[in-house]
Amino acid sequence: MDDNQLLRYSRHILLPEIGIDGQEHIAAAHALIVGAGGLGSPAALFLASAGVGTITLCDADVVDLTNLQRQIAHDTGTIGLPKVESAQRRMAAINPGIDVRTVQRRVGPEDLAGLVGAASVVLDCSDNFATRHAINRACVAAKTPLVSGAALRFDGQLAVFDSRREDSPCYHCVFGEGEEIEETRCAVMGVFAPLVGVIGAMQAVEALKLLAPCGESAAGKLFLYDALGAEWRTVRIRRDPACAVCGAVHG
Ligand SMILES: [Zn+2]
C-alpha cells in the first residue's frame, strides 16, 4: 500500500481485527453484486469505499425516477442511464483505486457459473426468486460464500450461506422452490426507504468480514428485521440433508 492508501484505509487499519493484512486481503478480493437497486446501492458503495479491489455489478435496468426514494447509488442526473453505469460512476468518484466491472443484463445460470467462479464473495441484491435460486446454485457449485438480503414494505432479512462449510445451509435449504410463494415486488407493495440501506449495509458488513477475514460469520442464522415494530429476530437455520441443491454436493 502507498501513503495515499494507508491514509484512505487508516480507520480500517486501526482496527486490530482488520489491520494492514486484512485491508490487503480486501484489496485482493473480487466481489460479485447482483442487483444495483435498493440493496445493491449501499452494498456497492460501502464495498467500493472500503477498498474491495474488484467489484462486478450486474443489473439490466435503467435508473427511473421511482428508484430515487431509496436507491442511493443513483441520482436525478443519472435518470435514464443503465443502473450499473450510474453506480459505477459513483463508486469511481468515491474510490478511483478500484476496478468496477459492469454486466448490463439479467444474469441467468449460464452467466452466473463464470461470474461466481471468478468471485471471492457474492452479494445477492436481486429482487426475484428465479435469480436468487440461480445465484444460490452457482454459489453451491463453486463453493463461494453468498450474502443474501431482501427487503419489502417494512420487513428485511439477511443471511449468509457459506458452502465451504459442511454444516452451512444453502438458500434452497431454507427457501424451497415451487412452494407457490407469491412473488411480491416493491413496485406493488412499496418499501420503506432506509430499510434497504440497513439490509444492504449489513450485506457489506458480512461480505467484508468474510474477505478480511475477521469475526464470526452470520452463516447458520437468518436475521429478520421488523422496522415498523422495532424488532430484530435471529432464527437458527440448518442444512437440509435432502436439499436438491446442496445435498448432492455434500453427499
Ligand atoms: Zn441446500
pLDDT for 145-175, tens place per residue? 999 999 999 999 999 999 999 999 999 999 9
Average pLDDT, stretch 198-216? Answer: 98
Q: Tell me the average pLDDT across 105-132.
A: 96
Predicted TM-score (pTM) of the model is 0.96
Return the percentage of the chain with pLDDT > 70, whole number: 95
Chain centroid to CA 71: 14
pLDDT, position 176: 85
Q: Are strands 99-103 and 155-161 parallel, antiparallel or unpaired?
A: unpaired
Q: What whole-number distance in Å separates Cα of residue 168 and Cα of residue 10? A: 34
User: What is the per-residue DSSP string for 191-248?
Assistant: B-HHHHHHHHHHHHHHHHHHHTT-S---BTEEEEEETTTTEEEEEE----TT-TTTHH
Read off φ and ψ for residue 247, nearest 5 degrees. -60, -45
All cell numbers assigned to 166: 459442511
At 136 the pLDDT is 98
Cα dist from 182 to 29, 48, 147, 179, whole Å: 36, 34, 23, 9
How many whole angstroms from 245 Cα to the centroid of ligand 1? 5
pLDDT tens, residue by residue, 39-63: 999 999 999 999 999 999 999 999 9
- Give 230 Cα–ligand 1 centroid separation in angstroms: 31
169 CA to centre of ligand 1 in angstroms: 5
Average confidence (pLDDT) over 102-120: 97
Mean pLDDT of the chain: 95
